[in-house]
Amino acid sequence: MELTQEYLKSILHYNSESGTFTWIKSNRYGWVGKIAGCSRTVRGENYRVIRINHVLYPAHRLAWFYTSGVWPDKEIDHIDRNGSNNSIINLREATRLENNCNKALNTRNTSGVKGVRWHGVARKWEARVNFNKVEYYLGLFETIEQADSVVRAKRLELHGEFVRHA
């Protein structure tokens, strides 16, 4: 059975502010009125998933479908990067490239600034931005603040609304 918005709304209630689904109708005893789904870790991130008719669905995709009536063609990006926050204002359709722009600071980063590293030979701060498999070299700078400023401007130019500086 293909999942329809009508069927989804007949078995689950979605609170668009909190991002939670609760069971309206369930074959399982005691589930009506309970929060639907469980947390799953995918690539180090926690996401809520809900099983409907033996199929596991990501809750953020169900939220999009529930509110718009259209199954998303693209990925669904969590604006605040919290995979458990499925409030509709925190969700947006995104391509894989756009979604990757909203990544957190790499754990191997030692400067604490995205796109900036210490260049030991030059004894200056080096600025770089990666986008769509292209690395943009932005130069060497005396201060980390100068390098950060240049990186932020370039990232805003390239990433647009999906920009994430930290």
pTM score of the predicted model: 0.78
Question: Which residue type sits at 30?
Answer: G
Within 10 Å of residue 141's Cβ, how many Cβ atoms?
20
From residue 153, how far is each of 23, 45, 128 by CA, in Å? 46, 28, 11
Domains by residue range for the chain, with CATH: 5-94 (3.90.75.20), 103-162 (3.30.730)
Amino acid letter, residue 28: R
At 38-93, the pLDDT tens digits run 998 877 778 999 999 999 999 999 999 999 999 999 999 999 989 999 999 999 99
DSSP string, 95-151: -HHHHHHTPPPPTT-SSSSTTEEEETTTTEEEEEEEETTEEEEEEEESSHHHHHHHH
